[in-house]
Chains A and B, each alone.
Chain A
Amino acid sequence: MSLNKIEQARGLRVRSPQDLAAGIFMILLAALALFLARDLPLGTLRQIGPGMLPKSFAVICAGLGVMLALTSLVYKGEQLQGFSWRGVIFVLGGAVLFGLTIRGFDIGPLKVPQLGLVVSGPIVVLVAGSAATDLRWKELIIFAIVMTTFCALLFKYALGLPIPLAPWLLGI
């Protein structure tokens, strides 16, 4: 809405795809919240029930979403930019792999033993690091080893956090 000049409106058309998408996104989130909260009792004003605030907030969110979507038809605004999946997949994937390997997991047929920081640390650095467009493998591998050592010393020893290092190898 900001920074935009009102175009001479001749019929309604999408003038700000980003705002329209944002509005729809808000409406979808609100709908999801309303769906999840459908069984929660509203209660009365005197004794507010667990559903009162979630539902009211969701309704306001939906209202704001509608307003955003409507303004996108009036005010000129930004285009919607594409996602760069490379970053999303490698960076977030690296983090998820860290979560899966640090203490091991057991989902159906898949079983990963508790690998600990010694393995999970390099995994997250290497996988996430591959998201960079100016990637240099040698540098990244050295960096992964250095960072893991540093983090092990800092978190495990200096700060005494109970993070497994390598239970399968060192027993800690």
Chain B
Amino acid sequence: MDVFANLALGFATVWKIVWWAPGFLQGAVSLPIPINILLCFVGCLVGTLIGVLPGVGPIATIAMLLPITFGLDPVGALIMLAGIYYGAQYGGSTTAILVNIPGEATSVVTTLDGHQMAKQGRAGVALGVAALGSFFAGSVATIVIAALGAPLTKLALLFGPAEYFSLMVMGLCFAVVLARGSILKAFCMIMLGLLLSTVGTDLETGQERMTFGFPPLADGIDFAVLAMGVFGFAEVLRNLENPETRDVVKTKIGKLLPSLSEIKQCINPVLRGTGVGAILGILPGNGAVLGPFASYTIEKKIAADPSRFGKGAIEGVAGPESANNAGAQTAFIPLLTLGIPPNAVMALMVGAMTIHGIIPGPQVMTKNPDLFWGMIASMWIGNLMLLVINLPLVGLWVKLLQVPYRLMFPAILIFCCIGIYSVNNQPVDVAFTAMFGLFGYILIKLGFEPAPMLLGFVLGRLMEEKLRQALIISRGSFMTFLERPISAGLLLVAVIVLVIALLPAMSKKRDEVFTE
């Protein structure tokens, strides 16, 4: 089986040992360092940390840590960044259960029953079930990625520019539909992202576009500058205005391991949650956020006694948490196979790959098999680590929740500033970031949710390139997008999704889902 040979390569990559001779010992001793495992561990730890802390999201953190990865090799860098991402999913559930605030947007559902369980003195069990369910889901999702990776990459090779363009249109349509808040506003954000992506030198003619004649803009708006301004600085401004009250559960956390009967109760919800989450996660346009909601709804529908939900039903924690983690993992599939990021965090991963000279897409698997399979293998190991980190360290996380925001945000700022400066060693970038911080703050004030903008921004350049190629091939005929069957199919899906979302009945339901 190819899959096993590939996974073996992946695990070999993860176990890479680097001999490190500390400079201050003048090379007298050299120590073996399992560098990738270490980075995976650091990523998971940082991810859990930011997942636990409300007000610091994975988008800002990954943007902040991008410069740190410059000195690393690409495999290690991406392993660490991936660890931050799924670590944050684990950490988010801890905050949801203990403090009743979702540390992460996707752990909103967990607050419903998880916090109730905590109030009843079963916080430990809730945390345990969440961690075990997430671990199971993460493991399954890793296998799904490994199994689907190769065939999807082959499929991607059939894609021409027209198909790519249509696929991205579909992805953006999904992103509009699945964004929080108003559809019209999400649409605005996507288009604004696309518009911003056209700033800079035109690739074909070399003409400068919308740069104000300002040389630093000639290469376009730096991705890290935009991400850190809108998600780092603007988030700080938003949080400073809305101080949160954190009522950490005072009752004992209790035993962590669920009893046998509780495990039995959870097996089916975990299985269903994993399935639902994994499938939704593959969808382009952030399908992963739907996973926990879908899973919760399913569990409530098929439960013998639905009234228990919202009052500390263990299934209401196990199912959504599994769905959440499965979706978070399978969201890597579109990125790794097609090179199309499904959400803002994955858009950052594209940025990270590009900085390291890797062009995301089907060729990653053939050109950098160690990166592809190493990342997949690291995900499983990372999930195992998270299980180990999360449960025994719960006490520490609770302590961290008491760090006041007045100290947290200056720390975020100094990290952001150093990070931004290090991207190009350009002080002017820091000022630019501050400008985008103000821009992001205005967007927030106007009720826009900026995440889709980042996705549009990242996809923008690729879309323009593919559109131009497709139209050159078709000699200027837009019909090419409809004549080619795969492309037409993708566009059809995009239209159907938009139409369904705009139907009055559906948009009402959508509001319910996203405000629950």
Contact = CB atoms under 8 A, between A and B. Distances in A.
Given A2-B511, A87-B240, A71 B184 contact: yes
A95 B434 contact: yes
Interface string B416-434: 1110011001011111011
B298 to A, nearest CB: 24
Contacts of A151: 414-415, 418
B471 A160 contact: no
A99 B417 contact: yes
Interface of A is mostly: helix
Q: Which of B70, B71, B237 has the most CB of A within 10 A?
A: B237
A26 B447 CA distance: 12
B434 A58 contact: no
29 contacts: A1-B185, A2-B510, A18-B447, A19-B182, A22-B446, A29-B195, A33-B195, A44-B476, A45-B471, A53-B198, A54-B209, A57-B195, A61-B188, A61-B192, A80-B445, A80-B446, A92-B438, A99-B427, A102-B421, A103-B427, A128-B409, A132-B405, A132-B409, A133-B243, A148-B414, A151-B418, A155-B422, A159-B71, A162-B425
B47 interface: no
B431 A40 contact: no
A91 B71 contact: no
Interface of B: 67-68, 70-71, 181-185, 187-188, 191-192, 194-195, 198, 202, 204-205, 207, 209-210, 212, 233, 236-237, 240-241, 243, 404-407, 409-411, 413-418, 421-422, 425, 427-431, 433-434, 437-438, 441-442, 445-448, 464, 467-468, 471-472, 475-478, 507, 510-511, 514-515
Interface of A: 1-3, 18-19, 21-22, 25-26, 29-30, 33, 36-37, 40, 44-51, 53-54, 57-58, 60-61, 64-65, 67-68, 71, 77-78, 80-81, 83-84, 87-88, 91-96, 98-100, 102-103, 105, 117, 120-121, 124-126, 128-129, 131-136, 139-140, 143-144, 147-148, 151, 155, 159-163
Contact of B410 (A22, A81, A128, A159): A128
Contacts of B510: 2
A144 B187 CA distance: 41
Contacts of A129: 406-407, 409-410
A68 B442 CA distance: 16
Given A18-B446, A161-B70, 14 more contacts: A1-B185, A47-B472, A50-B209, A54-B209, A80-B445, A83-B445, A91-B240, A96-B430, A98-B417, A99-B428, A128-B409, A128-B410, A140-B407, A163-B421
